[in-house]
Structure 1
Amino acid sequence: MAEVSTQVGGAQAIARAMQVLRGVSRARGDGAGLLALTRDTGLSKPTVHRILAALAAEGMVEQEPVSRRYFLGPECHVLGNVASERFGINRLAAPVVARLAHECGDSAFFSIRRDVFAVCVLREDGDYPLKTHVLLPGDRHPLGVGAGSLAILAALPDDEVDACLQANAALIARRYPHYSVPLIRALVDESRERGYSVNQGLVVPGSWGLGVPLRDEQGQVLGALSIAAVESRMDEERQFQLAKLLSREAQRLLAQASPGGREARARPPVPKPKP
């Protein structure tokens, strides 16, 4: 019994450390303060401080001596570079996301699936002056919450959709007041019919988004490309044009990621205009 208890305690400590590390990553260039991390993680201040000290000792975070704020450390950079050798599509997606942002003028994203969540990996901003800051690299949402996340969910088989929604039901009810499980099921159906997903300001009012999924040659969902803009730039005609742009870039990315650079057999859905 003591061994089981130790294993559970160790797993809990790792989970808490990851909560804190993700909190630091979300702060990006501004750094994260101790009080903000305490609030965001729901952990006690002494626990967060103890975890930060342990992470700093391993080079996973650094504390800026003047502001006393925490930033990701050099060891995160090293591990990220090593991991990128396996997740090659992440590297390939960077110029695609930049091209999307340049062509549409708004913010473009690449997100990947992690279990029942979608994690934003890349973000690029276009030159349109009004920006939406609803999604930053490192942010994670339950599958179905947000345009890219919804595109990933809609690309999954029905049994996986049900499993993801069941696993996230309590979190969605607690943290996403504009969402519900029945609503997300309806949005999945709409996304499949359209060929792309639409988020009509359900995460942050006034911030709309579109997304298309990425599937490999075996049909496995790799992630999603998405674009977000202020509501005034998302009328139906522009939604359809942006969806075509996303679909084109998704096909390019899949072609590069497929063995030998061949065009992938499993293509993103072709966007369909509303009748």
Structure 2
Amino acid sequence: MATSETNSSPARAAGAQTLARGLRALELIAQTPGGMTIQDVAVELGVHRSIATRLLSTVAEFRLINRGPDGRYRAAGGLAALAREVYAGLRDQATPPMRQLANTLGASVALFVAEAEDAVAVAVVEPADAPLRVAFRQGGRHPLDRGAAGYALLAAQPERPGENPRVTEARQRGYVISFGEVAPGFWGLGVPLTRPVNEQAACLTLISASRELVESAPDSLLKVATELSSYAI
């Protein structure tokens, strides 16, 4: 029995590597609006084109990606169907007041959650008549240790030893403002939400090129954050 387990270890390791590559390929394609060619994926993964071809064909079988007439792979309907169920309750409750905020203030509003050491946008609402739009989208992510969203998410969690003073500020004031840390030239206003125990930390973030707008908006975001925090979402 020990010999059999030893012999199977390389196979398990190879299987884990293949899975990791397939998931990474899916992530890369989902984050590239224009799609990626087989060669693009091969270069990013550091593998031979033949390996990339097999990986993409397998992922495509599950309708998570699709190869277009131009030969480029893009995210497909299967991935969207899975994504709709992720944080669905939180998004459903948050989206209407986020849309009202975005239209009233004339700035983009995003709902972020903390996943491991990343801040992930699970909903992004832009004002209806905005002359300038932020190049940010649902599913976008950045490290927790930067930007208004990152600081607000960390503030929604228990205090960490040696935490950034910006996080302490967000916890004490109920909000935090940053500039150019995630999107160059843009200001961010992050407000942590109060979430049920064992649920991912979440926050609302206002994103604008106007410092004056962001500095005038904390009360508006705090009001919506308080309302959302009262829901069992």
- Asked if TM exceeds 0.5, the reply is yes
Q: Does residue 11 of structure 2 align to residue 10 of structure 1?
A: no
Query: What code does the residue aligned with 2:76 have?
Result: G
Q: Structure 2: state its 5+ residue gaps.
A: 1-5
Post-superposition offset of 1:74: 2.2
The structure with the larger Rg is 2
State how far apart, in whole Å, the 2-side matches of 1:219 and 1:245 are. 27
**Which residue identity is paired with 2:211?**
M
Q: Aligned partners of 1:112, 1:228: CA distance in 2, in Å?
A: 16
TM-score normalised by length of structure 1: 0.72
Could you tell me which residue of structure 2 aligns to residue 191 of structure 1? 170
Instruction: Tell me the matched-pair count.
Output: 226
Aligned pairs for 1:131-210 (under 5 A) are 131-133=133-135, 135-159=136-160, 185-210=164-189
The one-letter amino acid paired with 1:51 is: L
SS at 2:164 equivalent: helix
Residue of 41, 62, 78 corresponding to 2:81:
78
1:215 aligns to 2:224 (yes or no):
no
What RMSD over aligned residues (CA atoms) do the two structures have, in Å? 2.6
Report the residue type matching 2:132 in the other structure: L
Point out the structure with the larger helix share: 1
User: Are the counterparts in 2 of residues 33 and 70 from structure 1 also a CA contact under 8 Å?
Assistant: yes
Aligned partner of residue 98 in structure 2, secondary structure: helix
- Where 2:167 maps in the other structure, the secondary structure is helix
AA of the residue aligned to 2:154: L
Structure 1: state its 5+ residue gaps: 163-181, 260-275
Determine the structure 1 residue equivalent to 2:221: 246
SS at match of 2:184: coil
- Which deviates more, 91-100 or 51-60? 91-100
**1:109-124 pair list within 5 angstroms:** 109-124=110-125
Write the letter of the residue equivalent to 2:83: G
Structure 2 equivalent of residue 63 of structure 1: 67
CA positional deviation for 1:56: 0.7
* Residue identity in the other structure for 1:247: L
Question: C-alpha separation between the residues in 2 aligned to 1:122 and 1:254?
Answer: 16
Q: Which AA in structure 2 matches 1:57?
A: E
- Contact 2:193/2:203, CA 8 A, preserved across alignment: yes
Correspondence for 2:232:
258
Q: Provide the secondary structure at the position in 2 that maps to 1:206.
A: coil
Cα 1:158/1:62, change in 2 over 3 Å: same
**1:220, CA displacement in angstroms?**
5.1
